[in-house]
Amino acid sequence: MEVNPPKQEHLLALKVMRLTKPTLFTNIPVTCEEKDLPGDLFNQLMKDDPSTVNGAEILMLGEMLTLPQNFGNIFLGETFSSYISVHNDSSQVVKDILVKADLQTSSQRLNLSASSGAVAELKPDCCIDDVIHHEVKEIGTHILVCAVSYATQSGEKMYFRKFFKFQVLKPLDVKTKFYNAESDLSSVTDEVFLEAQIQNITNSPMFMEKVSLEPSIMYNVAELNSVNQAGECISTFGSRAYLQPMDTRQYLYCLKPKKEFAEKAGIIKGVTVIGKLDIVWKTNLGERGRLQTSQLQRMAPGYGDVRLSLEAVPDTVNLEEPFHITCKITNCSSERTMDLVLEMCNTNSIHWCGISGRQLGKLHPSSSLCLALTLLSSVQGLQSVSGLRLTDTFLKRTYEYDDIAQVCVVSSAIKMEN
């Protein structure tokens, strides 16, 4: 019968402990009224309890701190810290000790050891200590692999390793929405509003230290999360920037194309990169976490080859009295020159004043021209400006523009009274 040799015991012991901040000690207050059988016994015991707050003994939260009792949760964006200790439990001097710590994720293996050199010798009851840090950037299963190699006094090479598996959880749920500016004025047509919804999906409150948008090279950004009161900027979320578990907060940003990009018609077309969100938070005792989203992209509105926008339009006009608007026509093509003809078609309420079918001349690629037009309305109320047609004589292609603006038409007598 074959007999397996006994497993040799190692001379060194490996201990690994995660480094986290302690938590506030909590107790369950037990009290009763004086007329009950225990009388004042429970109250006196709570006053004598060193873990309670003097003068507020019935509060669950005490003044003492509790060391972590388990591994706890690790969230994406936090820094994972661990203490590694190799202790010589034997009575021999161990030589050439090499301690290596690797972190295995679903996509890569990272070396976290502070030093790669071997320790010449380790005497009995002595230890080698190391602290490793790693900013967690992936969710899912992580495995901390700690390997120890050494040589005994007889020169025998020994090797062992231990595995520590843990899960990295998602701390925040981030959703983004893009809104194009509703105004048709050219000064704001290319504005983009970004709404970021951030939800705390952990089981503890967070202090939101910073939520900012880092724009791409094409845009300037303005944060719309504060109001100006008496010359002081005050956050719309109040003075306490805490986000309770499962609570959601909405942040709003306005992005405008930089001048050098806005002047080049057609460059902000199709899918454009807006930027990325940078989120920094702190948990109960100041543990810091940080997340950066991937580059946010939005589909820019398509204007076709020719874009028509309004430079100026009145809000209120008089009934049956002419008023003026200023249009801006842009050739969005980067290669082709256009020869445009303007036609003005009357609607039931809006009537154009001027010559329809007039030549606007040639419009070179990525260039614009401004055009002043006159019209009047024969119907009161909120009226839509429609009926403009641009025809490219080179391609025999007609571009129709309806509902380009709205004006409020009132009687001249009503306007004078106002």
Residue of higher predicted confidence among 376 and 26: 376
| pLDDT tens for each residue of 281-338 | 998 778 889 999 988 887 665 556 788 888 888 989 999 899 999 988 888 776 788 8
Q: Tell me, what's the pLDDT at 213? A: 92
Averaged pLDDT, 28-55: 72
Residues 154 and 193 both lie in one domain: no
Q: CA-to-CA distance for 148 and 14, rounded, in angstroms?
A: 8
Please name every residue paired with 377 in a beta bridge, in sequence order, or none if there are none: 350
pLDDT band at 188 (very low <50, low <70, confident <90, very high): very low
- Residue 253, number of CB atoms within 10 A of its CB: 23
Q: How high does pLDDT run on average in the chain?
A: 82
Strand 381-385 versus strand 405-410 pairing type: antiparallel
Residues 16 and 162 both lie in one domain: yes
Q: Is 108 left (phi over 0), alpha (psi -120 to 50) or beta?
A: beta
Whether the predicted pLDDT of 263 surpasses 80: no
The identity of residue 245, as a single letter, is P
Q: Tell me, what's the pLDDT at 270? A: 53
Q: Tell me, what's the pLDDT at 228? A: 80
pTM of the model: 0.63
Give the end of a domain, one of 169, 188, 203.
169
Averaged pLDDT, 86-112: 90
Residues 331 and 360 both lie in one domain: yes
CATH code at position 339: 2.60.40.10
Q: Tell me, what's the pLDDT at 2? A: 44
Averaged pLDDT, 83-100: 89
The pair of three-digit structure tokens given for residue 388, joined into one six-digit string: 């403009």
Q: Give me the sign of the Cα torsion angle 265, 267, 271, 277.
A: negative
Residue of higher predicted confidence among 372 and 366: 372
| Residue 300 DSSP one-character state | P
- In a domain, residue 143? The reply is yes
Residues 313 and 270 both lie in one domain: no
CATH code at position 246: 2.60.40.1230
Averaged pLDDT, 137-159: 90
Residues 389 and 258 both lie in one domain: no
Give the closest residue to 404 by CA, choosing from 302, 308, 269, 316: 308
Whether the predicted pLDDT of 350 surpasses 80: yes
pLDDT band at 186 (very low <50, low <70, confident <90, very high): very low
Whether the predicted pLDDT of 182 surpasses 70: no
Strand segments (E) across 258-301: 271-282, 288-292, 296-299
| pLDDT tens for each residue of 330-349 | 887 767 888 889 998 988 88
Residues 16 and 151 both lie in one domain: yes
Residues 95 and 196 both lie in one domain: no
Give the end of a domain, one of 238, 268, 300.
300
Give the end of a domain, one of 300, 330, 350.
300
Q: CA-to-CA distance for 285 and 22, rounded, in angstroms?
A: 8
pLDDT band at 272 (very low <50, low <70, confident <90, very high): confident
Whether the predicted pLDDT of 93 surpasses 60: yes
Q: CA-to-CA distance for 385 and 325, rounded, in angstroms?
A: 10
Q: Give me the sign of the Cα torsion angle 179, 183, 188, 190.
A: positive
Strand 61-66 versus strand 23-26 pairing type: antiparallel
Whether the predicted pLDDT of 47 surpasses 70: yes
- In a domain, residue 52? The reply is yes
Q: Tell me, what's the pLDDT at 103? A: 92
Give the closest residue to 306 by CA, choosing from 359, 363, 260, 345: 363
| pLDDT tens for each residue of 13-33 | 899 888 888 877 777 777 776
- In a domain, residue 90? The reply is yes
Q: Tell me, what's the pLDDT at 253? A: 93
Give the closest residue to 14 by CA, choosing from 85, 83, 81: 85
| Residue 185 DSSP one-character state | B
281 Cβ partners below 8 Å, 6+ apart?
171, 172, 206, 207, 208, 209, 243, 288, 289, 290
Residue 356 CA to chain centroid, in angstroms?
A: 51
Q: Tell me, what's the pLDDT at 242? A: 85
- In a domain, residue 3? The reply is no
> Is residue 357 classed exposed, middle or buried when 0-12, 13-18 and 19+ CB atoms within 10 A define those classes?
exposed
pLDDT band at 185 (very low <50, low <70, confident <90, very high): very low
Give the closest residue to 189 by CA, choosing from 76, 68, 310, 93: 310
Residues 54 and 126 both lie in one domain: no
- In a domain, residue 7? The reply is no
Residues 146 and 217 both lie in one domain: no
The pair of three-digit structure tokens given for residue 311, joined into one six-digit string: 């430079």
Whether the predicted pLDDT of 265 surpasses 60: no
Q: Tell me, what's the pLDDT at 269? A: 55
Q: CA-to-CA distance for 225 and 208, rounded, in angstroms?
A: 13
Whether the predicted pLDDT of 264 surpasses 60: no
Residue of higher predicted confidence among 5 and 188: 5
The pair of three-digit structure tokens given for residue 71, joined into one six-digit string: 């591994």
Residues 190 and 247 both lie in one domain: yes
Q: Tell me, what's the pLDDT at 189? A: 54
- In a domain, residue 275? The reply is yes
Write out the residue range of the structural domain in which residue 344 sits: 306-410
Q: Tell me, what's the pLDDT at 417? A: 56
81 Cβ partners below 8 Å, 6+ apart?
18, 19, 20, 131, 132, 133, 134
Residue of higher predicted confidence among 414 and 33: 33
- How many structural domains compose the chain? 4
CB 73 within 8 A of CB 202: yes
Residues 84 and 158 both lie in one domain: yes
Whether the predicted pLDDT of 204 surpasses 60: yes
Q: Tell me, what's the pLDDT at 5? A: 47
- In a domain, residue 213? The reply is yes
Q: CA-to-CA distance for 70 and 250, rounded, in angstroms?
A: 34
Residues 55 and 89 both lie in one domain: no
Q: Tell me, what's the pLDDT at 396? A: 84
